[in-house]
Amino acid sequence: MRPEQLYRLLGVVGTAAATTLAVLSGNSIRIQAVLAALPVVGRTPSVSLAPSSLALVLAVTIVITTIAMQPLYKPRSRRILDTIAATLRSVSLAVLLLATLGYLGFPYRLPRTTLLFVTVLLGFGLSTWFVALQHRYLDGNGRTLIIGTDPERIEAASHRTTDPVVGYASPIHASSATGERVNTDGGYGAVGSNGREYEYLVGLSRLEEILEESNIGTVIPILAQADRAEFFGVLKTCHQYGVNVAVPDGYGDSVLLSEDRDVSTQRTPGFASIDLQPWDLQDRLCKRVFDVLFAAITLLVILPSVCLIAIAIKLDSPGPVLYRQERTALFGGTFHVYKFRSMLPESEATTPGADADRITRVGRFLRRSHLDEIPQLWSILRGDMSVVGPRAAWTAEEAHLLEETRTWRKRWFVKPGLTGLAQINDASSETPEEKVRWDLTYIRKQSFRFDLKIIVRQLWRILTDVASIITSGTRR
């Protein structure tokens, strides 16, 4: 039996078994007595069902829980946190349905105290069970998908790995002089002049589909260049589905390589593993919670100042109050960032440093005091940015920066930030080599504690800049 089939079977069986254990345990007299003594339960009377009623209630509970857990039965690569979150959502749905039966007065329903016990036990037990199944049958299985357009390079990659190759995907139509065929979305193709053929599975537009339906542990993109649309689109999809990525050694200038190569990569000479997630789980949670709290509290505190800034901008020069610009997000994606307008409308130049003479009087003050950055707090709340990280670059400006600095794309492996190590060291897009050096230093050393140090230094810089503005105004 294939690992995917075992995963489905054990997922259903485990859900039914855990539900049975939870209901039978919660129905025992001893458990009922303990639950009745808890402050959470209060004065709810403990009820232990008779064997005749228990059988029917147990059957109904198993059916509802098994149906509610259906999204977890699909064998797809998930991160541990995503597996736990999906399990808790399904358990919550099952509990809601069971509570509804009790509220409507159905005869075959769980008593309140038993339902409370079942909720806690299933939430913990099924989360642990599906994480274990994920690790045992879906993670680290070594099955590889190759993505490319050149049949010869795809064939070479397939020979250099000892892991089973389940097939290949291609972003465009390609063919070779030997008649090998590589089709596009929905088609079928094969490579292998020596008779070793691999099935064409999907085009890049359907990559998520194959990652969901197939038990793939590693993706090897053999693309012509590390561009934003195709290459980093593949990385973003693999990151979302928790799939490892191995690339040819020649991509080293454009990707963030893992320091510790996994077993699959070690058995693939000439390939290196990409570090798709530099942060560990605990730091990611702390960072996101801190981002939300920092942005929300700051917006509430400075909200009265926003109206005054908007009025000053409108009185100083014609044009909108806010300025929208397309910036680069995680894995080369794009998002729109908003800032208070500090220049004359339609006057921004793509060359770094070429727009200094177009800044308005109010805009100069906003930039010196960093108040023009206030609207970016909304991007942090949305999750497009973080408080600390490499500064999000203007996509039009990046065309120049990518030509000057080959390692610029390595910044795309971390969510952009409002401030960062480069900013507090006065490195900007006008000095791209220095800026990338600071950003990569941050990526290597990043941690929640390191973020706090950067924030403290940035806040101190803001205070000194504001003090300098006040002092210079007083002298005049």
Q: Are strands 334-340 and 322-328 parallel, antiparallel or unpaired?
A: antiparallel
Higher-pLDDT residue of 352 and 405 is 405
Do residues 47 and 94 both lie within one domain?
Answer: yes
- Which tokens hold the place of 259? 């320091």
Q: Which stretch, 198-207, 274-283, 321-330, has highest mean pLDDT?
A: 321-330
Strand segments, DSSP code E, in 149-199 are 165-169, 174-175, 181-182
Of 253, 273, 293, which residue sits at a domain end? 273
The 10s digit of each residue's pLDDT in 372-396 is 889 999 999 999 999 999 988 888 8
**What's the CATH code of the domain at 233?**
3.40.50
pLDDT at 188: 37
Q: Is the pLDDT of residue 461 over 90?
A: no
Do residues 129 and 189 both lie within one domain?
Answer: no
Q: Is the pLDDT of residue 259 over 70?
A: no
Q: CA 316: distance to chain centroid?
A: 41
Do residues 155 and 33 both lie within one domain?
Answer: no
* Alpha carbon distance 139, 247 (integer Å): 19
Whole-model pTM: value is 0.62
Do residues 84 and 65 both lie within one domain?
Answer: yes
Q: Is the pLDDT of residue 304 over 60?
A: yes
Q: Is the pLDDT of residue 193 over 50?
A: no
Do residues 190 and 307 both lie within one domain?
Answer: no
Binned at pLDDT 50, 70 and 90, residue 36 comes out as low
| Domain boundaries, position 365 | 281-475
The 10s digit of each residue's pLDDT in 73-122 is 877 667 788 889 889 999 999 999 888 887 777 777 778 788 888 999 99
Average pLDDT for the chain? 79
Do residues 161 and 95 both lie within one domain?
Answer: no
Q: What's the number of CA atoms in the CB half-sphere (13 Å) around residue 184?
A: 5
Q: Which stretch, 132-146, 184-198, 288-302, has highest mean pLDDT?
A: 288-302
Do residues 303 and 388 both lie within one domain?
Answer: yes
pLDDT at 194: 37
Do residues 314 and 447 both lie within one domain?
Answer: yes
Nearest to 337 by CA among 348, 349, 325, 345: 325
Do residues 193 and 84 both lie within one domain?
Answer: no
Binned at pLDDT 50, 70 and 90, residue 261 comes out as very low
Nearest to 159 by CA among 183, 195, 189, 131: 195
Higher-pLDDT residue of 313 and 40 is 313
Do residues 152 and 268 both lie within one domain?
Answer: yes
Of 120, 138, 156, which residue sits at a domain end? 138
- Percent of the chain at pLDDT above 70? 79
The 10s digit of each residue's pLDDT in 280-295 is 666 777 888 899 999 9
Do residues 458 and 424 both lie within one domain?
Answer: yes
What domain count does the chain have? 3
Binned at pLDDT 50, 70 and 90, residue 473 comes out as low
Do residues 357 and 313 both lie within one domain?
Answer: yes
Per-residue DSSP letter, 410: G
Q: Any idea how long the chain is?
A: 476
Looking only at Cα atoms, what is the longest distance across the chain?
91
Run of H or E including 271? strand 271-273
Q: Is the pLDDT of residue 463 over 70?
A: yes
In this structure, is the dihedral angle defined by the CA atoms of residues 393, 394, 398 and 401, taken in order, positive or negative?
Answer: negative
* Alpha carbon distance 340, 361 (integer Å): 13
